[in-house]
Amino acid sequence: MSHFEYTFITPEGKKKRGHMSAPNAQEAKSALRTSGVLVTSFKAAKARKSDQLPKEALIDFTLSLASLLKAGLPLFESLKLLTDQAQGTKAHATLEALCNAIKEGVAPSLAFEGHFDPLYCSLVRAGEVSGTLPKTLEKLAQLLKKEQQLKQKLIASLLYPAIVAAFCLGVIVLLLTVALPAMSSLFEGKALSPFTAGVLKASELLRSTWWLLPLLPLFLYRFRKKLLPVTRKEAALARFCYTLATLQEGGVVLIDALKFARSSCNCLDLEQAVERAEASLILGIPLSAHFKKEKAIPTLLPRMFAVAEESGAFAPTLYQLAELYDQATEKRMSRLATLAQPLTLLILGAIVGTIMLAVLLPLTDLSNLL
């Protein structure tokens, strides 16, 4: 079943929103007309979390469907086979809904709406119109796999430094909240150096605001996009170029391809630059000419776009550009991970050493007095 959103006017004259499920848009509109509801707008709802396949399952499904279609099986038979294989999994309900929609004669692109994101549906529609659905699905699977690999590389490169940092921070918190308070009786009535007094005050402050500690991971997660701006932009450029190349090769019109590629960036500066490029393209200004004016766009991208516009080999050039940015991202993340590990240990080791020194200095003075 596909899901739809609509706004309607109540008998009291109020504007409200509604949701409904139906095999396709035509049946949904027919049901609304029959009910006598005064509809002012109607559109397919975005894919819901509960309906979406996990990324790995989506890649496997797309590759399997492409292979079955290339082997000569009709679309319905291919979906039926994949639905039977998915018995007992979360994907079964989604695949069964797709299978039923195709059986009822719904176009593949319409059947996929409500279960997959707009980018996926756009490529399916392009493959359906051009008659190259198996090849388009293969390209789509490659795109999804590329995105997954890039995400895994980013996570893997930062995982070890994050674990080391978490361990060291845990040691620091234990020193300040457990070890120092247990030794505070040794310092009572003694004149302490500003250095030791400052560490003890930090311990008191941490103990009084301990409830803020669980918010630290949330804070870091909230601002994770601002921690690695250069690397994040290179990764976004790689996604943008690869997505745009796949859409162009799949037969999607350039202006529509730009919109879908823009949504895959996950980088505000780049998204705004591409959005302005779309407006320029409508006015007849080439993408290469517009991107030269954008500060958020590196100089390599407009040069490669100019080559693509002159040669007409748009998709191959964009694939090369995506590969370059992908390699640059991988190298930068590798360097960052190599530097982050010792740097994290040095910084946090220095903090632990500072705390220990603040404790040992007064003890040394006391022993001298004895």
3-class DSSP string for 234-268: HHHHHHHHHHHHHHHHCCCCHHHHHHHHHHCCCCH
Q: What architecture does CATH give domain 55-145?
A: Up-down Bundle (1.20)
**CATH topology assigned to domain 146-370:** Receptor-associated Protein (1.20.81)
Q: Please report the DSSP string for 41-64 in residue order.
A: EEEEPPPPTTTSPPHHHHHHHHHH
Q: pTM, whole model, 2 decimals? A: 0.62
CB 2, CB 101: distance < 8 Å: yes
Phi and psi at 237, nearest 5°, equal -65, -40
DSSP string across 77-100: HHHHHHHHHTTTSTHHHHHHHHHH
- How many CB atoms sit inside 10 A of residue 91's CB? 20
List residues bridging with 44 in a β-sheet: 4
pLDDT, one tens digit for every residue, the chain (370 residues): 456 677 878 777 777 777 666 656 677 777 777 777 777 887 765 545 445 677 888 889 989 999 999 888 888 899 899 988 888 787 888 888 888 878 877 778 777 876 787 778 777 877 787 778 888 888 888 878 877 877 777 777 777 777 877 887 888 888 888 877 877 777 776 677 788 788 888 888 888 877 777 777 676 666 555 555 556 778 788 888 888 888 888 778 888 888 888 877 777 888 889 999 999 999 889 999 999 998 888 888 999 999 888 888 888 898 888 888 888 887 887 787 778 778 878 888 888 888 888 877 776 764 544 4
